[in-house]
């Protein structure tokens, strides 16, 4: 078992065998590790000089869980025999039922399969801040090494269900209060205390407890049934399209009714079914896709080193600028916020303070860190403080002359290494920077609103942007906990361009006589956070009206000209901003459909003249979903064809994190491939005959439909694609 992946065993003079997992960075349970654990445990059980066992992980981390790469092998082959038997053979039969006691010495983290290993031990000793959790449901599966059975027996049914169904982590300190951890100690004392406990159990001075046999925390049968029933109702509400939630509850219930061993056996079977189900395939795809967005040919593979970005200037303290500044401050980066006058500057600083307080209320920031963040902020009304900034992010309104004059000023006042970034969501970066000689430093840093919360950062490069600037912005993105996706320069970039038909398709359907609230309901039940009309209300109509002409110029005949938003604005509606849009917004209440918009809709339909024979069309729910999403897939095909994105999976991540496309469907392209290029192409062809070029299939889609190749399959060898075409 050569190399960095190994399991070692050292037997001390005290008769305790210390078994250690080595698999950096988080000691994941690779099949080699699992085999190593089985071998070392068998050896320890056989050796006369071993009285007890302590299990730990190397380099201050116990274990981050099962190696997810194995899931991809299982899903590609359809062969579950690639999954090693950990639950019964190792955890139940070897560790828990073994003739020598095991104690887990836990530091850093014990997650998923890692925590399940510890629950097969007879005691658990941990450092107070260690993170404990069973996040398997986020990958479409559930705990598969006995966790569904042992966790409820250690912490009680309600807490165990919360930890599993919400993938909630707890600290070891809380674990001790709940009964999951037996003792806490400092990292220096961890192994010593664990050895002591192991010997105490071996000598019957401390209880030799098998978690699977305990029932004291489960409560009475009727109590357990009530808890499970409430959990099922809650899961139906928040995870209606996710089968793993109900499956997990089924398995927990089996253990409550028929005993822990029966539960373990059912868990093993259901786990194998879930791994091969569409939801797990989708979520595992998203997991790996998210990790590959920062692999950028010609940037991250040429031995460049990122420069340190200590100080960033943000120009514009409006909603976006203040959100971007907040994200940077939380990432411990000094910020100079520039505004045009003292009143606007004060408002921006107030917004930032409010954002930070909001993060404290949500529990994602401590009071101390908030105060530290505020101390890193400086306001400015001129460029005096720009002489030593490492990066500038411009976040002013979408007006070309204004942006051009700002960038011309920045070139004069900023140091020559400073990166000049724009948060524009639509304007061509070559136009933004055309009055400068600093094109190699000009880059798009497109955040999504609210910028301090939304996780996506679109990094937009032109043909002249230097690899160093791209690498530095990727690094800043990681520091401020964003997922950076590098894209090419075009109208709308990757996300807004791909999704421009999303709202337009919905408006086209309304013009054909379909009820807009029905459209929103269907899109929401498909898994989007909200439908296109509610989304437009929330974003405000200003954005839609501002980009209307830009999209019309860029997309020609495939752009659906709709006057609906203009009519809404003329009617005194601004969306959520003034409480009146397609929906009515009252403080503390859910948005309510506003029936009084009917005259606006009637007028819109009268002007649009798209209803065949002036009569509303009849469409099924499936037709409506397809007419909204297939044009989006079609535009995504053009985005891939033009190499605006490096790989199809980048578009999947961008759609999930930027637009809220359901993660459990794997992202836009992954989902489209489950539907099939041929089916999508045939439907679009049919609609384009009736309704025009908005639905006309792209050449990329037609070619894939004909050849039978997946939409997401790369067209060229990845190594040949060194940069996106602009």
Which uninterrupted H or E stretch holds 400?
A: helix 400-413
**Would you call the peptide bond into 450 cis, given omega within 30 degrees of 0 as the criterion?**
yes
What distance in Å separates the CA atoms of residue 7 and residue 297, rounded to the nearest whole number?
35
What distance in Å separates the CA atoms of residue 526 and residue 524, rounded to the nearest whole number?
5
55 backbone dihedrals φ, ψ, rounded to 5°: -110, 130
What distance in Å separates the CA atoms of residue 92 and residue 579, rounded to the nearest whole number?
58
Give the number of other Cβ atoms within 10 Å of residue 452's Cβ: 23
Q: What number of residues does the chain have?
A: 726
Q: Under 8 Å CB-to-CB from 218, ≥6 apart: which residues?
A: 152, 153, 156, 157, 224, 256
What distance in Å separates the CA atoms of residue 529 and residue 521, rounded to the nearest whole number?
10
- b/e 173-191 (16+ beta carbons within 10 angstroms → b): eebbebebbbbbbeeeebb
Q: From 575, 582, 571, select the one nearest 519 (Cα to Cα).
A: 582
Annotation marks residue 603 as catalytic:
no
Query: Tokens 């989006």 sit at which residue?
Result: 632
Query: Which tokens is 717 given?
Result: 């060898």
Kindly write down the DSSP assignment for every residue of 417-430, as one continuous string: T-EEEE--SSS-HH
What distance in Å separates the CA atoms of residue 714 and residue 726, rounded to the nearest whole number?
18
**Would you call the peptide bond into 691 cis, given omega within 30 degrees of 0 as the criterion?**
no
Annotation marks residue 253 as catalytic:
no
Q: Find the catalytic residue in 96, 116, 254, 394.
A: 116
Strand, coil or helix: what is 95? Answer: helix
Q: Find the catalytic residue in 96, 136, 253, 267.
A: 136
Residue 106 burial class via C-beta count within 10 angstroms: exposed 0-12, middle 13-18, buried 19 and up: buried
Residue 475 burial class via C-beta count within 10 angstroms: exposed 0-12, middle 13-18, buried 19 and up: middle
Gyration radius from the chain CA atoms: 28
Give the number of other Cβ atoms within 10 Å of residue 39's Cβ: 13
Catalytic sites, residue numbers: 116, 136
């Amino acid at each position: 078992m050569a190399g960095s992946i190994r399991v070692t065993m050292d037997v001390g003079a005290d008769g305790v065998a210390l078994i250690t997992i080595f698999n950096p960075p988080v000691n994941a349970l690779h099949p080699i590790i699992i085999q190593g654990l089985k071998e070392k445990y068998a050896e320890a059980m056989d050796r006369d000089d071993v009285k007890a066992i302590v299990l730990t992980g190397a380099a201050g981390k116990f274990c981050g869980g099962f190696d997810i790469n194995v899931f991809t092998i299982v899903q590609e082959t359809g062969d579950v025999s690639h999954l090693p038997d950990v639950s019964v053979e190792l955890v139940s039969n070897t560790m828990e039922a073994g003739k020598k006691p095991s104690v887990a010495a836990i530091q850093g983290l014990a997650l998923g399969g890692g925590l399940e290993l510890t629950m097969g031990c007879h005691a658990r000793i941990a450092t107070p801040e260690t993170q404990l959790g069973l996040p398997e449901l986020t990958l479409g599966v559930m705990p598969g090494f006995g966790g569904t059975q042992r966790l409820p027996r250690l912490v009680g049914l309600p807490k165990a269900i919360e930890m599993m169904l919400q993938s909630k982590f707890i600290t070891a300190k809380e674990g001790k209060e709940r009964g999951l951890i037996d003792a806490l100690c400092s990292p220096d004392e961890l192994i010593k205390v664990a050895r002591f406990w192991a010997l105490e159990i071996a000598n019957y001075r401390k209880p030799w407890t098998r978690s699977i046999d305990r029932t004291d925390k489960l409560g009475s049968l009727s109590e357990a049934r009530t808890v499970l029933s409430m959990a099922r109702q809650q899961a139906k509400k928040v995870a209606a399209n996710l089968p793993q939630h109900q499956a997990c509850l089924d398995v927990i219930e089996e253990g409550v009714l028929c005993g822990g061993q029966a539960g373990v056996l059912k868990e093993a079977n259901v786990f194998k079914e879930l791994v091969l189900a569409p939801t797990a395939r989708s979520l595992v795809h998203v997991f790996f896709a998210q990790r590959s967005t920062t692999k950028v040919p010609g940037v991250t593979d040429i031995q460049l080193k990122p420069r340190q970005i200590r100080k960033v200037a943000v120009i514009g303290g409006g909603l976006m600028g203040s959100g971007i500044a907040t994200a940077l401050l939380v990432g411990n980066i000094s910020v100079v916020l520039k505004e045009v006058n003292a009143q606007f500057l004060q408002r921006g600083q107030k917004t930032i303070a409010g954002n930070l307080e909001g993060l404290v209320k949500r529990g994602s920031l401590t009071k101390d860190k908030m105060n530290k963040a505020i101390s890193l902020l400086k306001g400015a009304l001129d460029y005096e403080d720009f002489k030593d900034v490492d990066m500038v992010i411009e976040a002013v309104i979408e007006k070309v002359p204004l942006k051009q004059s700002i960038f011309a000023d920045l070139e004069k006042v900023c140091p020559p290494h400073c990166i000049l970034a724009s948060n524009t969501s639509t304007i061509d970066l070559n136009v933004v920077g055309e009055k400068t000689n600093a094109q190699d430093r000009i880059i798009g840093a497109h955040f999504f609103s609210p910028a301090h919360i939304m996780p996506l950062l679109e990094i937009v490069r032109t043909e002249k942007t230097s690899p160093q600037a791209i690498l530095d912005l990727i690094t800043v993105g990681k520091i401020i906990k964003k997922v950076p996706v590098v894209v090419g320069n075009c109208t709308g970039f990757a996300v807004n361009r791909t999704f421009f038909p999303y709202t337009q398709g919905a408006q086209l359907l309304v013009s054909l006589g379909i009820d807009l609230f029905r459209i929103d309901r269907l899109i929401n039940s498909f898994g989007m956070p909200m439908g296109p009309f509610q989304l437009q209300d929330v974003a405000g109509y200003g954005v839609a009206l501002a980009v209307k002409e830009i999209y019309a110029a860029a997309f020609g005949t495939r752009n659906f000209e709709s006057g609906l938003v203009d009519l809404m604005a003329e009617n005194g509606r601004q969306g959520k901003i003034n409480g009146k849009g397609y929906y009515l917004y009252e403080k503390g209440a859910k948005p309510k459909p506003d029936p009084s918009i009917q005259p606006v809709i009637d007028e819109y339909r009268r002007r649009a003249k798209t209803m065949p024979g002036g009569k509303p069309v009849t469409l099924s729910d499936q037709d409506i979903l397809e007419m909204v999403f297939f044009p989006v897939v079609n535009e995504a095909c053009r985005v891939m064809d033009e190499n605006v994105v490096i790989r199809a999976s980048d578009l999947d991540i961008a759609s999930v994190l930027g637009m809220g496309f359901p993660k459990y469907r794997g992202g836009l392209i992954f989902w489209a491939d489950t539907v099939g290029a041929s089916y999508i192409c045939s439907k679009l062809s049919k609609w384009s005959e009736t309704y025009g070029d908005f639905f006309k299939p792209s050449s990329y889609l037609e070619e894939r439909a004909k050849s039978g190749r997946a939409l997401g399959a790369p067209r060229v060898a990845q190594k040949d694609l060194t940069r996106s075409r602009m």
